[in-house]
Amino acid sequence: MDGRTAGWGVRAVVAAFALLVRAGAAATLVWTAGAAPVPGVAAAGAPTGAARPAGGQDETPTPLRVMTFNIRTSLGNDGDNGWVHRRALVARTIERVAPDVAGLQEALDEQVEYLADALPGYRWLGADRGLNGGTGLSEYTPIFYRRDALIPIESGTFWLSPNADGPTGVGWRRNVSRIVTWARFHHRESGRGFHVFNTHLTLRRGQRQVDSAKRIAARVAALPAAGAVVVTGDFNALAEISETWSAATGQGLQDAWLLAGERIGPPRTSNDFRAPELANPGRIDWILVRGPVGVRSVETIVDHDDGRYPSDHYPVVARLELQR
């Protein structure tokens, strides 16, 4: 167990296992939250077991704040908007919004490590795409979660290629293989459970992107229908009008922005480091939900520091309720 997972204590693991036993759930208990995929879980590439609450809980909905945030790779030739100039603002933005779960995209080793250090109240799960010979120059789609609120029960990674177990699927170019990081969480206070999937689809719109959205939707559809599921991601496709959006929402997933009782901020998320009135039109960063999940509000976060934006995407946060 490395330093990034040291926050897990033996008592926490035993307590989580005891909860599973009492609930009668069959699951793989995951107690790592670092960069490497969990042996036997990530390799399997498919979540198993229902997201079930513990017995005896009340019926009061459980608030859950979820963020999706493309933090822009540190490899970009961005000048004054380079990672070193905005990394503290990225961390402050996450800290201010205080999501229970944050699905990040375009994160490299150095970025994940910086945020893990800057956000001590969080742990993270994920593996990189397996590119560039393991030199730290391969994208993660990590899931950060509040350590005081959530316990990860199982997690893994699958590739959006014909061979979901690795980055070199037959018929797919290795440099465009994308991944999905997933986890099943136990909510400490309420005892409820839920799944999270996080992804970043290829910029190349077309059949590959549509097929990727269908693969994600199919994975979610394979879970027990009564389970709560949240999907976060930069889908690189316009919500509501693209074939990719139709594919993603074609098997039970729903767009939280459309379900929200309140929508805050502009309906556009890609900004080229600029203010909303100058940003690229279109909503390409989505939060999707399925099952007993209510959507109180969705907000496009437009925080900046004297005109400097934390990324070339606005983060999006949904205030959800787990209803059973």
pLDDT single digits (tens) 156-170: 999 998 878 776 544
CA distances from 320 to 194, 212, 236 (A): 12, 25, 23
CA distances from 272 to 24, 93, 278, 280 (A): 49, 17, 9, 7
CA distance 144 to 119: 10
Question: Phi first, then psi: what are they for 296, rounded to 5°?
Answer: -75, -45
CA distance 211 to 138: 22
Structural domains in the chain plus CATH codes = 3-322 (3.60.10.10)
Please indicate whether residue 111 or residue 204 has the higher confidence score (pLDDT): 111
Question: Phi first, then psi: what are they for 29, rounded to 5°?
Answer: -80, 120
Please indicate whether residue 166 or residue 36 has the higher confidence score (pLDDT): 166
Which residues sit opposite 144 in a β-bridge?
102, 124
pLDDT at 1 over 70: no
pLDDT bracket for residue 132 (50, 70, 90) = low
Residues 6+ apart with CB under 8 A from 120: none
pLDDT at 136 over 60: yes
66-70, 150-154, 252-256, 320-324: the lowest-pLDDT one: 320-324
Q: Which residue has 């070193």 as its token pair?
A: 84
The CA-based angle 82-86-88, given to 5 degrees, is 145
Please indicate whether residue 195 or residue 33 has the higher confidence score (pLDDT): 195
pLDDT bracket for residue 131 (50, 70, 90) = confident
Do 104 and 72 meet the contact criterion of CB atoms below 8 Å apart? no
pLDDT bracket for residue 198 (50, 70, 90) = very high
Q: How far apart are the first and last CA of the chain?
A: 34
